[in-house]
Structures are given as structure tokens and as C-alpha cells.
């Protein structure tokens, strides 16, 4: 009896939308492993739906019953009456909730941003119903369907729920787990219809369309009706290219759970005043700082590049990016007052692959009070809004797509200040802090003499004062 009451309480909290993350995880595990609980969830969903259809828009009324004062109630009668009132209260609450179909539960992962839209224009941000859409700008979401099917969708993604056991993936990357008893789940893309036969499988949609079976089997066919169903078994993959199905495509790794934020490098420059940067170990990381131009010392917990000479310092970072751990976050806390930054030159932090500068973020060329983001410092002109005072910015690089964005603060869940499409598949192994003039940066980039001569001779060097640096990877290595 206690287990049944606990199950009912858990279901009620889910449908009320006030369940905790731990309760959501418990429900997802029960949906995966407990057929009886899965059936109870489905029955509850259907009852919820039926009551909403019948009573939606009705006003709740309290009816007072008159009892004889001489009537004496026994303990069993009181308990029965209390149980009846409790059931009536639950049913009334369900009846008055303005929700239609059984819900697919949504949970956002770390560093994620998405927008849910419903057919009627209203509804919970934590649920999807038939016809509801989700546009995931970045990060990942987990979906739990009423049938017990679970999915992890990684952005950028767009999807629409087409039934309590069906999904249309317009674009994105999704991993599906279909438990026993929920076979028949359908995922469609623009070109393919995939029907589960009891399995774990992954789907890529958008510019590329692929299906990969991790366990079990699926059957699929072109959605335009030009071909028959084909079976795809464990370990097999298929791609839709040039209006045809291509078998035996290379396997891909699909994340089955949210990525965790792992710090691979950090330094807050909290050493005593006068500490030389050259040879210093960071707080997190195995490399040592190497000053290659000028000198650099720490004062007031700040590394400041200002001075008469140009400065540059490198430090090695572990190359951690791959198909699963595909997001790199570089967080910079800088003193960005007019005196410390924003002159006609440039100054900032760069990510390197060997000897090649790949991404620059900092004070761009020009006197504007702004930040810049670009593949190389010498041409960094993509300015962000003015950020005054002690400002924290975070750069986000996606290994899969090459999309690079800059955000204010130490998270990437808000609107990007600036973005650039930089080459995908880059793996960084060095980080640099430097300042210089436009001409310095052009020379650093290895430009030919003709190009260098065409660069405006602005020899004013900008400066940047850094309080802390941190490199994180969103690690999905499961």
C-alpha cells in the first residue's frame, strides 16, 4: 500500500509540474525498468486526458453536506470518507487543469537554451503535447514520452511531437531508448521514417540525415514512398544522400545522458605581488606559462599587459575535444575600464593549434569600447556591446559545427553577444595572452609583405588586465 501511495504521489507531482529533478529521474528510471509502473503512467495519462476533455473550462464548486448531529462515525467510516475526499480532490484538480494530451516531459541539460511552443499558444515549458514544438538553440534536452520511450536531443535542434509515441526531428542529433512494451516508436525526419522494433538508436537530421542502431533493430523507408521498409540491425548505420539510402556508413557516437562541465585549465593569478608569470604553473593544468615577448608580473591578483613593450605569454592546455565532448568554454574575467583596455590596438586571449592562432577574443582593433571575436586578432572586428567594469565573458566553441559564440557572464544560457562560424573539428593545445598593434597582429598571422604593407600603420598597443582564466569541456564521454 505504501508503494502504491508513493507511486500515485510521484505521478501527481509529475502532472502538476512541481516535481523535483530527483523525482523526474526516478520516474524516468521506473519508465525504463518497471512495466507495471509504465502501464500505471499510461493509464494515468489517459485518465488525465479524458477528465480534461470532459471538464475543461468548468468551474469547481464546493458542496456542503448536512449531517445529523446525532450520527456518530466510526474510525473505518472516517478513513473511508477521508480517502474518498482525497480521490475526489485529485480528480477535481486533474479535471480543472487546462492540459490536453498525455505529456512528454522535458528536462534541460547544463548550458542549454530552448523555446517550447504549443498548438494553443500556451502551456508548460516543461512538457510537450501532440503538435508542440521545441527549438533548441544549444545544449541538450531529455524527453520522456508517455509510453516510456526516452530521448536525448542535442542542439542546435528543432523537433515536433506528433503523437504519444512519435516525434518529428527537423534537425539535430537524437539518441532514443525504447523499453520493452513500448515498441513501435516512430521518428521521422524530412526524408526518412524510422520505426523502432525494440532498441536503442541514434538519428541525425538536417543537413545530414543518418540512422544508427546501437542495440536491437529498426526498420525504415524514405518518407516520400519511393522505397519499401528496410531492416537495420545492431551496429549498422544508414545515410540518406542524393535521394538514396546508403548503407554501411561509419558509426557515430551518441550521448545517452547530459554532459558534465569539466575544468581542464584554470588560473586566478592569486600569487603574491611581483610574481613572474614565466615558469608559473596554473591552478589547474599541467603546463607552465612561457613568456615569449616582454615581461609579465602579477600585481593585485591581476595579470596586466600594459607597459612600454609588447607582451605575449603561452601555456599548454590538454586537447580534449571530440565527437562526444564537443563543447569548449573559455571564461575570462577582465578589468575592462577605459584605462586598462580599448585603444586603437588589440589585446586579448587566443586559442592555438600548434603555431596557428585559431580563435581570438578581447579588445579588437579600433578605439571602440567593445569586445571582439574572430579567428585571428589582426582582423578582429566583430564587436560586442559595451561591457564596463570588471567583466566576465565566456566563449563557446562547438567542435561538431564550428559555431563560436561569446556571452556575458560565466554561462552560455543567454543571448550571444557575438558569433562566428569557424572551422569545425579544431583541437586546441595552447592558450595565449598578448597585446599589440594592428601591424603586430598582421605580422604574427604570417601575412605576406604586400598584405602587411596595406595594414594601417597604427602602432598604438592596446592592453588587457586579466583576473582569471578558465577552460571547461562539456564531457559526454559515456
Question: Is 65 domain-assigned?
Answer: no
pLDDT (0 to 100) of residue 80: 43
pTM: 0.75
The pLDDT confidence band at residue 16, using thresholds 50, 70 and 90, is low
Residue 317: C-alpha distances to residues 31, 83, 121, 266 (Å):
42, 63, 47, 10
In a shared domain, residues 88 and 142: no
Count up the domains in the chain and report the number: 3
Give the DSSP per-residue string, 23-87.
HHHHHHHHHHH-HHHHHHHHHHHHHHHHHHHHHTTPPP---PPP--TT----HHHHHHHHHHHHH
Question: Is 283 domain-assigned?
Answer: yes
In a shared domain, residues 179 and 275: no
In a shared domain, residues 277 and 160: no
In which residue are the cell numbers 501511495 written?
Answer: 5
Beta partners for residue 151, in sequence order: 143, 176
Residues 183-225 pLDDT 10s: 899 999 999 999 999 899 999 999 889 999 999 999 999 988 7
Number of C-alpha atoms within 13 angstroms, CB side, residue 97?
23
Q: 205 lies in which domain range?
A: 104-247
Contact 220, 195 (CB under 8 A): yes
In a shared domain, residues 77 and 25: yes
Find the CATH number of the domain harbouring 182.
Answer: 2.60.120.1440
Q: Is 271 exposed, middle or buried (0-12, 13-18, 19+ CB in 10 A)?
A: middle
Rounded to whole angstroms, the Cα distance separating 153 from 4 reads 32
Positive or negative: CA dihedral 444, 448, 454, 457: positive
pLDDT (0 to 100) of residue 15: 64
Kindly tell me if the per-residue pLDDT of 267 is higher than 50: yes
Residues in contact with 31: Cβ distance below 8 Å, sequence separation at least 6, in sequence order: 37, 38, 41, 144, 148, 150, 179
In a shared domain, residues 286 and 326: yes
> What backbone torsions phi and psi does residue 114 show, to the nearest 5 degrees?
-150, 165
In a shared domain, residues 362 and 463: yes
pLDDT (0 to 100) of residue 346: 78
In a shared domain, residues 410 and 462: yes
Q: State the greatest distance between any 2 C-alpha atoms of the chain, in Å, as a whole number.
A: 107
Residues 307-324 pLDDT 10s: 767 889 999 999 989 988
**Kind of pairing between the strands at 260-267 and 150-163:** unpaired
Share of the chain above pLDDT 90, in %: 44
Question: Is 340 domain-assigned?
Answer: yes
Question: Is 66 domain-assigned?
Answer: no
Q: What mean pLDDT comes out for the span 341-370?
A: 79
Work out the angle between the directed axes of helices 75-96 and 2-16 (0-180°, nearest 10).
30
In a shared domain, residues 452 and 390: yes
In a shared domain, residues 15 and 140: no
Rounded to whole angstroms, the Cα distance separating 176 from 178 reads 6
Question: Is 67 domain-assigned?
Answer: no
In a shared domain, residues 346 and 282: yes
Question: Is 442 domain-assigned?
Answer: yes
Amino acid at each position: 500500500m505504501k508503494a502504491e501511495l508513493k507511486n500515485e504521489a510521484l505521478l501527481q507531482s509529475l502532472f502538476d509540474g512541481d516535481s523535483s529533478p530527483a523525482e523526474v529521474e526516478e520516474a524516468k528510471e521506473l519508465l525504463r525498468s518497471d512495466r507495471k509502473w509504465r502501464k500505471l503512467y499510461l493509464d494515468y495519462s489517459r485518465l488525465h486526458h479524458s477528465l480534461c476533455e470532459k471538464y475543461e473550462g468548468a468551474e469547481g464548486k464546493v458542496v456542503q453536506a448536512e449531517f445529523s448531529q446525532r450520527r456518530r462515525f466510526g474510525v473505518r467510516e472516517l478513513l473511508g470518507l477521508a480517502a474518498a475526499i482525497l480521490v475526489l480532490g485529485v480528480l477535481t484538480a486533474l479535471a480543472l487543469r487546462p492540459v490536453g494530451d498525455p505529456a512528454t516531459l522535458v528536462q534541460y541539460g547544463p548550458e542549454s537554451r530552448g523555446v517550447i511552443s504549443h498548438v494553443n499558444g500556451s502551456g508548460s515549458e516543461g512538457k510537450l503535447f501532440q503538435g508542440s514544438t521545441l527549438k533548441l538553440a544549444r545544449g541538450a534536452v531529455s524527453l520522456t514520452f508517455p509510453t516510456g520511450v526516452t530521448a536525448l536531443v542535442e542542439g542546435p535542434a528543432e523537433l515536433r511531437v506528433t503523437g504519444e509515441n512519435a516525434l518529428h526531428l527537423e534537425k539535430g542529433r537524437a539518441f532514443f531508448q525504447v523499453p520493452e512494451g513500448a515498441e513501435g516508436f516512430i521518428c521521422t525526419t524530412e526524408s526518412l521514417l524510422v520505426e523502432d522494433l525494440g532498441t536503442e538508436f541514434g538519428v541525425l537530421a538536417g543537413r545530414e540525415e543518418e540512422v544508427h542502431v546501437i542495440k536491437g533493430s529498426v526498420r525504415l523507408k524514405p518518407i516520400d514512398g519511393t522505397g519499401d521498409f528496410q531492416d537495420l540491425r545492431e551496429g549498422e548505420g544508414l545515410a540518406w544522400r542524393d535521394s538514396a539510402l546508403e548503407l554501411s556508413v561509419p558509426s557515430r557516437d551518441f550521448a545517452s545522458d547530459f554532459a558534465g562541465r569539466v575544468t581542464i585549465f584554470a588560473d586566478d593569478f592569486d600569487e603574491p605581488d611581483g610574481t613572474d608569470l614565466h615558469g608559473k604553473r596554473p591552478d589547474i593544468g599541467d603546463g607552465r606559462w612561457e613568456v615569449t615577448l616582454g615581461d609579465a608580473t602579477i600585481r593585485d591578483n591581476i595579470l596586466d599587459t600594459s607597459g612600454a613593450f609588447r607582451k605575449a605569454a603561452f601555456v599548454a592546455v590538454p586537447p580534449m575535444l571530440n565527437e562526444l565532448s564537443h563543447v569548449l568554454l573559455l571564461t575570462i574575467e577582465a578589468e575592462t575600464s577605459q584605462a586598462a583596455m580599448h585603444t586603437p590596438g588589440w589585446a586579448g586571449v587566443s586559442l592555438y593549434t600548434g603555431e596557428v592562432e585559431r580563435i581570438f577574443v578581447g579588445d579588437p582593433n579600433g578605439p571602440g569600447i567593445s569586445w571582439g571575436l574572430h579567428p585571428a586578432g589582426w582582423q578582429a572586428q566583430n564587436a560586442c556591446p559595451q561591457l564596463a567594469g570588471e567583466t566576465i565573458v565566456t566563449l563557446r566553441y562547438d567542435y561538431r559545427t564550428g559555431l563560436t559564440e561569446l556571452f556575458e557572464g560565466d554561462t552560455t544560457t543567454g543571448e550571444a553577444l557575438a558569433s562566428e562560424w569557424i572551422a569545425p573539428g579544431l583541437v586546441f593545445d595552447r592558450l595565449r595572452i598578448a597585446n599589440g598593434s594592428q601591424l603586430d597582429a598582421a605580422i604574427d598571422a604570417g601575412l605576406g609583405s604586400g598584405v602587411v604593407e596595406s595594414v594601417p600603420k597604427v602602432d598604438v598597443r592596446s592592453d588587457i588586465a586579466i583576473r582569471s582564466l578558465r577552460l571547461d569541456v562539456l564531457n559526454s564521454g559515456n
